[in-house]
Amino acid sequence: MICGRTQNEAIQEIENFHGFVAPGLLIGAFMVDLLYEHLDKGVEADAIVETRQCLPDAVQIFTPCTVGNGWLKILDLGKFAITMFDRNTFEGYRTWLDLDKARAHPDVYNWFMGLVSKKDLPKEILLPAIMAAGKAILSINKVNVVQYGKRQGKGDIRVCENCNEAYAASQGSPCSACQGNGYYKPVP
C-alpha cells in the first residue's frame, strides 16, 4: 500500500492527474507515505516542496494540500525533498532522497543522477526498480519550519490605472505587469 492505495490505484491516480507515470512522482508517493507515518494522526499538515518538478503533484494527489488552496508551497531550491508540518506549531518532518541509501538501488540512483539515458533505462525497468526500493532510498528528519510556513491571505485589491485590471495592491502601482514584468503581447 502507498498512501492508502494499492500500487495499481496509486499509479492510476498519478497517470490521471500528471498525464503519465513520472518516476519522480512515484518516489514522491513513497515520500508522502513516509511523512504520514511520522506525523501525528489528525494534525492539519501543510506542505513545502523544494522543486517544481514532479513533487508538487505527489503532494497534490496524495494529500489535501494544493497550490491553489495555499496549503502547498513550492520553493525553488532545486532539491528532491518534501516537508510536511503542523500548520499551527510549524513542527514537522522533512524527507529527501538520500544518495547514500539510493546507491544500493543502481537503476534508481543512475536515473536520479542523470547518469543513464531513457533508452538504456526504459520505464519498464525503472518503475519496478522504484517500487522495489520503496522507502529504503529515503531519509527523514524532524524539523521546525522557520520561513514560508504561514498561509497567506488574499490582501487588498486595487484597479491598475494603466491597464484597468484588478490586481493585488501589494504589487505597487501600476500593477506588476505594467511595471514591465508581463509575459505576453497582444495580437491585433
Only segment of 2-10, 120-128, 129-137, 180-188 that touches its own copies (CB under 8 A): 180-188
Site for its own copies in 100-129 (CB under 8 A): 100, 112-114
Only segment of 35-43, 118-126, 130-138, 161-169 that touches its own copies (CB under 8 A): 161-169
Only segment of 1-9, 90-98, 121-129, 130-138 that touches its own copies (CB under 8 A): 90-98
Among 37, 120, 128, 142, binds its own copies (CB under 8 A): 142
For 52, 53, 84, 138, 157, the CA distances from 77, given in Å and listed in that order, are 9, 11, 16, 18, 30
- C-beta separation of 72 from 56 below 8 A: yes
Start-to-end CA distance of the chain, whole Å, equals 54
State the virtual CA torsion across 157, 161, 163, 164 in degrees, nearest 10.
60
- C-beta separation of 101 from 80 below 8 A: no
Instruction: State yes or no: residue 187 binds its own copies (CB under 8 A).
Output: yes
Amino acid symbol at 68:
G
- In whole angstroms, what is the distance from residue 45 CA to residue 83 CA? 10
Nearer to its own copies, 41 or 185 (CB): 185
Among 29, 94, 105, 110, binds its own copies (CB under 8 A): 94
What distance lies between CA 12 and its chain's CA centroid?
A: 18
Among 48, 133, 137, 140, binds its own copies (CB under 8 A): 48
Minimum distance from residue 167 beta carbon to its own copies (Å): 5
Minimum distance from residue 187 beta carbon to its own copies (Å): 4
